[in-house]
Structure 1
Amino acid sequence: MYSRYDTRNLIAFITGATAGIGAAIARRLVAEGAKVVITGRREDRLQALKEELGEQACALPLDVQDETSIRTAVESLPAAFSDINLLINNAGLAQGGELSQDAELENWRTMIDTNVTGLLQITHALLPGMTERNEGHIINIGSVAGNYPAPRGNVYAATKAFANHFSLTLRADLGGTDLRVTSIEPGMVETEFSKVRYKGDEEKARGVYEGLKVLSSEDIAEAVFWASTLPPHMNINRIEVMPTAQSFNSFALYPSED
Structure 2
Amino acid sequence: MKNHDIVAISGGTSGIGRSLAESAIERGSRVVVSGRRGDRIHAFCETHSTPVPRACGVVSDASDSDHANRIFDESQRTFGATPTAYVLCAGRGLSGTITTSDETQWEELLRVNLLGAMRQLRACAERFNPSAKTSTQVRDIVVIGSTVGRVISAANPVYGATKFALHSLVESLRQEMSSRNTRVTLIEPGFVKTEFQTRAGYDMERFSQMEQEQGPFLAAVDVVEAIWFVLERPPHVHIDDIRIRPTRQRV
Where does residue 87 of structure 1 map in the other structure? Answer: 86
Would the aligned equivalents of 1:62 and 1:70 in 2 still touch at CA under 8 Å? Answer: no
1:161 aligned onto 2:156:
no
1:53 aligned onto 2:48:
yes
RMSD: 2.0
Separation of aligned partners in 1, 2:108 and 2:164: 16
Separation of aligned partners in 1, 2:36 and 2:9: 12
Structure 1, unaligned runs of 5 or more: 249-258
Separation of aligned partners in 2, 1:25 and 1:167: 20
1:133 aligned onto 2:121:
no
The answer to which of 35-44 and 78-87 deviates more is: 78-87
The answer to which of 138-147 and 123-132 deviates more is: 123-132
- By how many angstroms is 1:81 displaced? 5.6
- By how many angstroms is 1:229 displaced? 0.8
Would the aligned equivalents of 2:57 and 2:74 in 1 still touch at CA under 8 Å? Answer: no
Task: Flag as ranges the 4+ runs of structure 1 deviating above 6 A.
Answer: none
Aligned residues: 241
Separation of aligned partners in 2, 1:72 and 1:167: 21
Superposition pairs for residues 71-220 of structure 1, below 5 Å?
71-72=69-70, 74-77=72-75, 78=77, 80=79, 82-95=81-94, 97-134=95-132, 135-198=138-201, 206-207=208-209, 209-210=211-212, 212-220=215-223
Counterpart amino acid of 2:237?
A: M
The answer to which of 145-154 and 207-216 deviates more is: 207-216
Secondary structure of 1:64's counterpart equals: coil
Structure 2, unaligned runs of 5 or more: 133-137
- By how many angstroms is 1:82 displaced? 4.0
- By how many angstroms is 1:155 displaced? 1.7
Would the aligned equivalents of 1:17 and 1:26 in 2 still touch at CA under 8 Å? Answer: yes
Counterpart amino acid of 1:128?
A: E
2:228 counterpart (225, 228, 240) = 225
Counterpart amino acid of 1:84?
A: P
Separation of aligned partners in 1, 2:222 and 2:84: 22
The answer to which of 152-161 and 66-75 deviates more is: 66-75
Go from structure 1 to structure 2 and tell me whether the alpha carbon gap of 1:210 and 1:42 turns closer, same or farther (over 3 Å shift). Answer: farther
Counterpart amino acid of 2:211?
A: Y
Where does residue 135 of structure 2 map in the other structure? Answer: none
- By how many angstroms is 1:175 displaced? 2.8
Go from structure 1 to structure 2 and tell me whether the alpha carbon gap of 1:81 and 1:63 turns closer, same or farther (over 3 Å shift). Answer: farther
1:34 aligned onto 2:32:
no
Where does residue 25 of structure 1 map in the other structure? Answer: 20
Separation of aligned partners in 1, 2:235 and 2:67: 32
Separation of aligned partners in 2, 1:112 and 1:103: 14
Separation of aligned partners in 2, 1:129 and 1:71: 8
- What is the identity percentage for the equivalent residue pairs of Structure 1 and Structure 2? 27
Separation of aligned partners in 1, 2:197 and 2:140: 29
Separation of aligned partners in 2, 1:47 and 1:83: 20
